[in-house]
């Protein structure tokens, strides 16, 4: 709340809407009773909302009660620099309908936090690169901006309420494929939004299972095929280890080739984010993060296909 109240932007030109979706801690009480600017308000979704797309329904409720022409979404556990809002909305021109912003995990002295910060930076940078290539694929709801008019013309999230996740990526992909408007990435350090990494492996896998659960429901069938091939590549890396042990040493050669190729390509991508969305010193953990990624992605893919995961205090099916 303090970071949003400190935004370097005219208070009369923006409003901050917190949406309480059956929060189980004391955050609603704190926000509702806190001294806050006049352009801040706290809303609550009606209790007993059925279905599975809880976050979509909460965000949609906030949009329905908003007055602005541009919607900016973020998460309640995020912290923002004072020029964040100014930088995010400055990227809009008459032909721009959606802007994806950078998100960074803060890292403490724990190795797991450092690995998450580096691996997550790779996802954000990959999403930025794909947007730059005109192939908008992934983004993060902790830092997005889009035109309310276009959102309403596409009927918002109404065709997504059968999915628990994906309000960010699915909307971006629809705008990119179904309209003549542009999707852009805000590549500005002041626009970086900061959030904490997962505390443990269980929370990490629940998050990644949730993210993976929407992949098979992208409308772009070619994109789904590409994602399947990427997943098969990660499975093949694990498979080649066992094949080299039990069948032929030739698989060890192909394994080393795949590893080197993966490391070189991904290091080139992630090094672009040094001093932008993560501290350069984190690059020393690159190899550890790569090995961790190779181990968790096949499991997260299976978890996404099964479609059962826990988000906050809710057990959800896809």
CA–CA distance, 98 with 95 (Å, rounded to integer): 10
Long-range contacts of 107-116 (CB under 8 A, 24+ apart): 107/197, 107/278, 107/279, 107/282, 111/285, 111/288, 112/197, 112/200, 112/201, 113/197, 114/282, 114/285, 114/289, 115/285, 115/288, 115/289, 115/292, 116/197, 116/198, 116/204
How much is the pLDDT for 55? 84
Mean pLDDT of 257-262: 92
How much is the pLDDT for 88? 96
Long-range contacts of 154-162 (CB under 8 A, 24+ apart): 154/178, 154/179, 156/60, 156/63, 157/53, 157/56, 157/57, 157/59, 157/60, 160/53, 160/56, 161/51, 161/52, 161/53, 161/56, 161/57, 162/52, 162/53
How much is the pLDDT for 197? 92
How much is the pLDDT for 125? 94
CA–CA distance, 102 with 15 (Å, rounded to integer): 21
* Domains identified in the chain and CATH numbers: 53-317 (3.90.550)
Local confidence band at 49 (pLDDT 50, 70, 90 cut-offs):
low
Local confidence band at 157 (pLDDT 50, 70, 90 cut-offs):
confident
Local confidence band at 256 (pLDDT 50, 70, 90 cut-offs):
very high
pTM for this entry:
0.88
Q: Which residue has the higher pLDDT, 306 or 185?
A: 185
Mean pLDDT of 203-226: 79
Mean pLDDT (the chain) is 88
User: Over the Cα atoms of the chain, what is R_g?
Assistant: 20
Local confidence band at 249 (pLDDT 50, 70, 90 cut-offs):
confident
Mean pLDDT of 63-67: 95
How much is the pLDDT for 313? 64
Mean pLDDT of 80-86: 97
Span of 4-18, 121-135, 145-159, 219-233 with lowest mean pLDDT: 219-233
How much is the pLDDT for 162? 66
How much is the pLDDT for 311? 65
How much is the pLDDT for 301? 79
Local confidence band at 226 (pLDDT 50, 70, 90 cut-offs):
confident
């Amino acid at each position: 709340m303090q970071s949003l109240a400190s935004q370097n932007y005219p208070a009369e030109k923006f409003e901050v809407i917190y949406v309480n979706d059956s929060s189980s801690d004391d955050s609603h009480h704190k926000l509702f009773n806190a001294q806050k600017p006049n352009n801040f308000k706290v809303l609550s979704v009606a209790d007993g909302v059925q279905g599975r797309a809880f976050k979509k329904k909460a965000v949609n409720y906030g949009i329905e009660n908003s007055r602005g022409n541009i919607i900016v979404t973020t998460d309640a556990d995020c912290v923002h620099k004072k020029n964040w809002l100014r930088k995010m909305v400055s990227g809009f021109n008459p032909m721009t309908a959606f802007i994806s912003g950078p998100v960074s995990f803060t890292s403490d002295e724990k190795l797991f936090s450092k690995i998450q910060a580096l691996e997550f930076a790779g996802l954000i940078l990959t999403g930025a690169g794909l947007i730059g290539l005109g192939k908008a694929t992934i983004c993060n709801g902790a830092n997005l901006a889009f035109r309310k008019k276009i959102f309403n013309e596409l009927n918002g999230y109404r065709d997504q309420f059968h999915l628990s996740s994906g309000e960010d990526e699915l909307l971006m992909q629809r705008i990119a494929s179904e309209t003549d408007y542009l999707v852009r990435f805000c590549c500005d350090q002041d626009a970086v939004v900061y959030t904490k990494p997962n505390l443990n492996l269980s929370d990490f896998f629940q998050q990644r299972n949730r993210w993976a659960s929407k992949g098979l429901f992208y409308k772009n069938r070619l994109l789904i095929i590409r994602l399947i091939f990427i997943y098969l590549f990660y499975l093949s890396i694990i498979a080649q280890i066992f094949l080299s042990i039990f069948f032929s040493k030739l698989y060890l050669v192909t394994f080393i080739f795949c590893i080197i190729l993966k490391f070189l390509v991904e290091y080139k991508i992630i090094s672009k984010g040094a001093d932008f969305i993560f501290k350069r010193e984190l690059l020393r953990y690159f190899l550890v993060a790569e090995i961790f990624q190779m181990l968790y992605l096949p499991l997260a893919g299976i978890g996404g296909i099964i479609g059962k995961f826990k988000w906050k205090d809710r057990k959800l099916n896809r």
